[in-house]
Amino acid sequence: MSKKSVFIVSFLTFSVSIFPQKSIDQKVDALLKKMTIEEKIGQMNQYNDDWTSTGPVTVDNEKAAQIRNGQVGSLLNCLGTARVRSWQKMAMQSRLKIPLLFGQDVIHGFKTTFPIPLAEAASWDLSAIELSARIAAIEASASGINWTFAPMVDIARDPRWGRVMEGAGEDPYLGSRIAYARVKGFQGEKLGSVNSLMACAKHFAAYGAAIGGRDYNSVDMSNRLLWEVYLPPFKAAVDAGVSTIMNSFNDLNGVPATGNKYLQRDILKGKWGFDGFVVSDWGSIGEMINHGNVKDEYEAALSAITAGCDMDMESRCYKNNLEQLVKDKKIDVSLIDDAVRRILRKKFELGLFDDPYRFCNADREKAALNDPEHSKIARQMAEKSIVLLKNENQLLPLSKELKTIAFIGPLVKSLKQNKGFWDIDVPNTDSTFIVSQWQGLQNKVGQSTKLLYAKGCEIEGNDQSGFAKAVETAKQADVVILSIGERRDMSGEAKSRSNITLPGVQEELVRAIMATGKPVVVLINAGRPLVFNYITDSVPAILYTWWLGSEAGNAIADVLFGDYNPSAKLPITFPRSVGQIPIYYSHFNTGRPATNDEDRNYRSAYTDLSIYPNYEFGYGLSYTTYQYSDLKMTAKTMNVNGKIGVSAIITNTGKYAGEEIVQLYIRDKVGSIVRPVKELKDFIKIHLNAGESKTVTFSIDKEKLSFYNQRLEWVAEPGEFDVMIGASSADIRLKDSFELLN
């Protein structure tokens, strides 16, 4: 190297060290100093775009003017690069040119629709779930979006609640693992990559415990239950680096979550050190007036900002009141600065200050929304989500040599129903981009198999006039496949149901078809656990297909014919009756436990109902069978800071290769707070060829044995613990115990 170049290199190194790149925090502070109070408050406002009602760009003048004045921080429901770009251009006309954030409910896919989250949770396949979120992020970020209001990580134990479809079910451990995977999937390797979205864990907190399963309802629960069951998935999301949290509509023990300081400031931003920002739910700041917790919008804004809510989704309480609150010395401007700092930091991290249009490349949008690889991944995810509930005499898988198959039911030919509740009509794309169940079957069978169709009845209503044709069709077939269930929008936001049996006359249709004596396979399509005892008791083969998304038809056909061997297991208990709700596996034993249906007298049971659910948490069959053997523990005692290894051998004893989800449950026999009869503490999904054996190992440490004691301390108490390895929460195959020493 010449002297001159040595000089240049050392000068460069020197200049880098004396003029270091400004950190994001420094940039945020510098920008904050330039902002007027009005501009600061502007960052805390999020408005809805108008696409739902009007389609193509309609510019609301008031909104446009506010954006140009720097009075809006974010828009939601704005679809497509062209439209996003047009709003962003307006933001670039504002004094400080602060770019907008664009949020959207990208819940289970964007253009390529994936199975609803509850269905994906049934896969217990964390890498597949992460990949599903990744694909959604790739598509949405190519289409202008940089923020998804997902994942919903609310634990839900009441299938009457319509939003049970949007979460990962009833269990805090499984829910936490899935929350972590989804956040990683949406956000990708690093916020700031052009295909990563900010994730938003919602709804903070305890929204899933709405009394009676009625959406938006109050929640009343002990602090212990909150910490042990409802908060862990949020903590997992924070640990995964989630950028934002949405608070919730419900009140928690009388304090609306949106104005709840304990939740947002003390736990989330305090104890957990969350450094992203909190957005309200739609209008939830203003709704605190309806709750009866504040008098007017002025007080609502005061309550929300004090409690730690940084952004106002659509209530306009912040816009209209924050400045006055500062003038009246009700709040210090530092509260506003803190909120704005959090929001601006994310805008910097997303790279929006470097290029406000970085998510608005129309060529990239076109390519990402037409990538055939995404459909393949959606098909695999859908296969993994289908739960085989019953398979008497190995009716499934069906032979590809069958001469005639009758495919009957109101859901056979529908397209859009397969998409489930949170579908997105992406502009300028083909909205029939869905494989119907009929199409899937046609794609699967060869020329020599005849497919017959009859609708039988509608999803709802009393009309049985189609039964006769359905019965005639069934009589001509070797096998009947019946596709029944809910309408896709019977579960979802504001879709609570008091009666969760099959709507309309569908059960009567099943009875009429069963009377033909033909072998029948039922596909149940729904966003929640339904009650279908007649089908459980009488129909030989049942697949729970939830809503599987764009590739539903192909995935269902793959499972019906054994090209995919079902492996999913229920992430939520299926009750036998609404009267059993809430029903979940990790209940306490009580002083008078009912251990079987013959012994219910003076027991913790109903006199008129079985103690058992229809199907338990963790349940799901396969076309093959698995044997569990050779439970080994590395020790019978454990020191508090030690570990115990647990292993077992799992053998595929059937004819088909498959995947088994091996579940580890633990019971703390005696606790200063009563402990559940069992709690999921780990699981592993393994692939086994026919005849193959594999050893699975788990490691038990203090963390897996801990709980919140009366003082809300996270402790493991010495004493005896049961260790159970099973194929479901009720199908425990291997059991042992150990002692935790003092």
Interatomic CA distance for residues 250 and 204, integer angstroms = 9
Peptide bond into 397 cis (omega under 30): yes
Contact predicate 434/415, CB 8 Å: yes
**Quick one: 245 or 294, whose CB is closer to ligand NOJ?**
245
495 is an interface residue for ligand NOJ by CB under 6 A: no
**Alpha-carbon gap, residue 698 to 646, rounded angstroms:** 5
Handedness of CA 11, 13, 17, 20 (dihedral sign): positive
Judged by beta carbon, residue 241 or residue 283, the one nearer ligand NOJ is 283
Encoded one letter per residue, x for contact with ligand NOJ by CB under 6 A and - for no contact, window 622-661 reads ----------------------------------------
Q: What HEC string does 68-99 produce?
A: HCCCCCEEECCCCHHHHHHHHHHHCCCCCCCC
Considering only CA atoms, give the Rg of the chain.
27
Q: For strand 644-652 and strand 693-700, is the pairing parallel, antiparallel, or unpaired?
A: antiparallel
Q: Which of 139, 154, 281, 659 binds ligand NOJ (CB under 6 A)?
A: 281
Q: Which of 49, 171, 281, 558 is catalytic?
A: 281
Nearest to 126 by CA among 167, 185, 71, 79: 185
The 3-state DSSP class for residue 267 equals: helix
> Whole-number minimum distance, CB 163 to ligand NOJ, in Å?
8
CB of 526 to ligand NOJ, least distance (A): 20
- CA distances, 322 to each of 292, 481, 643 (Å): 20, 60, 53
By beta-carbon proximity to ligand NOJ, the closer residue of 150 and 191 is 150
Question: Which of 47, 87, 110, 149: binder of ligand NOJ (CB under 6 A)?
Answer: 149
Q: Is 281 a catalytic residue?
A: yes
| Beta carbons of 641 and 705 less than 8 angstroms apart | no
Q: Given the complex with ligand NOJ, which of 304 and 470 has the nearer CB atom?
A: 304
d(CA 322, CA 566): 54
Pick from 282, 359, 421, 626: which binds ligand NOJ (CB under 6 A)?
282
Nearest-angstrom CA–CA distance, 163 and 173: 19
At which residue do the structure tokens 């995404």 appear? 374
- With tokens 């510019």, the residue in question is 59
Nearest approach in angstroms of CB 103 to ligand NOJ is: 8
Residues across the chain? 742
Q: Does 493 bind ligand NOJ (CB under 6 A)?
A: yes
Smallest distance, Å, CB 370 to ligand NOJ?
26
For the segment 90-119, give every residue that binds ligand NOJ (CB under 6 A). Answer: 105
Please report, as a single letter, which amino acid is at residue 482: L
| 287 touches ligand NOJ by CB under 6 A | no
Q: Residue 582 Cβ, how far from ligand NOJ at the closest point, in Å? A: 21
CB 408 within 8 A of CB 456: yes
Which residues in 670-729 contact ligand NOJ (CB under 6 A)? Answer: none
Which residue from 202, 341, 364, 681 is in contact with ligand NOJ, where contact means CB under 6 A? Answer: 202
CB of 253 to ligand NOJ, least distance (A): 20
**Of 282 and 564, CB closest to ligand NOJ:** 282
Of 290 and 596, nearer to ligand NOJ (C-beta) is: 290
200, two tokens: 């938003």
CB of 289 to ligand NOJ, least distance (A): 18
Distance CA 657, CA 476 (A): 33
Q: Which residue is nearest to ligand NOJ (CB)?
A: 149
Nearer to ligand NOJ by C-beta: 343 or 570?
343
User: Which residues would be at the binding site for ligand NOJ (CB under 6 A)?
Assistant: 105, 149, 202, 281-282, 493
Catalytic residues: 281
